[in-house]
């Protein structure tokens, strides 16, 4: 068994030059874009990429353009050494860790806007968020030129926005959707969970419990959304400080629906102790 070394790449040019011969040789390249402070949710994407691809590339970049003014950009958690250690253990080939200046030179003027899908849910309260996400991911796709990108359903709206961008712009890559990884008690793993005190973490559990109410309602044969949303809001507001949204939507258009159906999505964003948390489930 040969274990190859993880190679760190810091510039766009380094990534392009390093990957060029691999592209020419027809190697299948899997890519996992992240903002670092890696947890098992991220690592599940890396593991899947490792199983399916010959070359695995991970990026760690806290993308400033997807944070709105007043959000947590400056205190976003970071631990590059431990991230690299975990990626090494999983046999990742390349890690791209660009600086802000490398990704955005001082006169950056070009932005990607995926209409409609970006305006709803998280896009309403985080103005410009998905424009920042789509722009950085398009740049990363252009640099890495992956055959497949591994992304989590934890950020369901992000998945749909990026799938639409890839389709509309005829990009030569595809997204592999990966299920949300949860703590044993159901809390969706997130780098932002590190902001939570033990008491706040306990309250944060109600996001998942509230989502579960929708599944239980559907399983019991009820489908009416209006009264269900009222019950869910009542329940969630007992634990969180502020509800940003609870919505039940079509799983492709993200438009609200009146009756639960198989594969529709239930999504929540709420604040606990100043930390904004999101979670969602598919109704099955």
In the complex with ligand AMP, the residue whose CB is nearer, 19 or 60, is 60
Pairing mode, if any, of strands 55-60 and 29-34?
Answer: parallel
Interacting residue with ligand AMP among 155, 222, 273, 282 (CB under 6 A) = 155
Interacting residue with ligand AMP among 56, 138, 181, 207 (CB under 6 A) = 181
Burial class (CB in 10 A: 0-12, 13-18, 19+), 232: buried
**Secondary structure (3-state) at 208:** helix
Fill in the per-residue mask, 187 to 226: x = in contact with ligand AMP (CB under 6 A), - = not in contact. -xxxx-----------------------------------
In the complex with ligand AMP, the residue whose CB is nearer, 175 or 225, is 175
Q: Can you tell me the distance from the alpha carbon of 265 to that of 270, in angstroms, rounded to the nearest whole number?
A: 17
Those residues whose C-beta lies under 8 Å from the C-beta of residue 48, and which sit 6 or more positions away, are: 150, 176, 178
In the complex with ligand AMP, the residue whose CB is nearer, 178 or 260, is 178
C-alpha closest to that of 96 among 56, 132, 128, 135: 56
Those residues whose C-beta lies under 8 Å from the C-beta of residue 106, and which sit 6 or more positions away, are: none
Interacting residue with ligand AMP among 6, 45, 207, 267 (CB under 6 A) = 45
Residue 39 catalytic?
Answer: no
Question: Given 23, 42, 106, 129, which residue is catalytic?
Answer: 42
In the complex with ligand AMP, the residue whose CB is nearer, 190 or 206, is 190
Site size for ligand AMP (CB under 6 A): 17
Catalytic residues: 42
């Amino acid at each position: 068994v040969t274990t190859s070394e993880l190679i760190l790449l810091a510039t766009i040019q380094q990534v392009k030059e390093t990957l060029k011969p691999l592209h020419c040789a027809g190697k299948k390249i899997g890519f996992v874009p992240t903002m670092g402070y890696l947890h098992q949710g991220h690592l599940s994407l890396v593991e899947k990429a490792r199983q399916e691809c010959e070359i695995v590339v991970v990026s760690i970049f806290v993308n400033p353009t997807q944070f709105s003014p007043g959000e947590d950009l400056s205190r976003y958690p970071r631990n590059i050494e431990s991230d690299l250690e975990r990626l090494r253990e999983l046999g990742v080939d390349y890690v791209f860790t660009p600086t802000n200046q490398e990704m955005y030179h001082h006169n950056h003027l070009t932005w990607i806007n995926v209409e409609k899908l970006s305006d709803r849910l998280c896009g309403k309260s985080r103005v410009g968020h998905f424009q920042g996400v789509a722009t950085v991911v398009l740049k990363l796709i252009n640099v890495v030129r992956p055959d497949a990108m591994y992304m989590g359903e934890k950020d369901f709206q992000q998945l749909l926005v990026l799938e639409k961008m890839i389709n509309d712009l005829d990009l030569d890559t595809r997204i592999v959707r990966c299920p949300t990884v949860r703590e044993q008690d159901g809390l969706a793993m997130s780098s932002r969970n590190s902001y939570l005190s033990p008491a706040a973490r306990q309250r944060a559990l109600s996001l998942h419990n509230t989502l579960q109410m929708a599944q239980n309602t559907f399983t019991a044969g009820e489908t009416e959304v209006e009264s269900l949303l009222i019950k869910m809001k009542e329940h969630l507001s007992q634990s969180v400080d502020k509800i940003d949204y609870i919505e039940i939507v079509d799983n492709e258009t993200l438009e609200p629906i009146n009756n639960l159906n198989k594969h529709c999505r239930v999504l929540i964003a709420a604040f606990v102790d100043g930390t904004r948390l999101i979670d969602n489930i598919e109704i099955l």
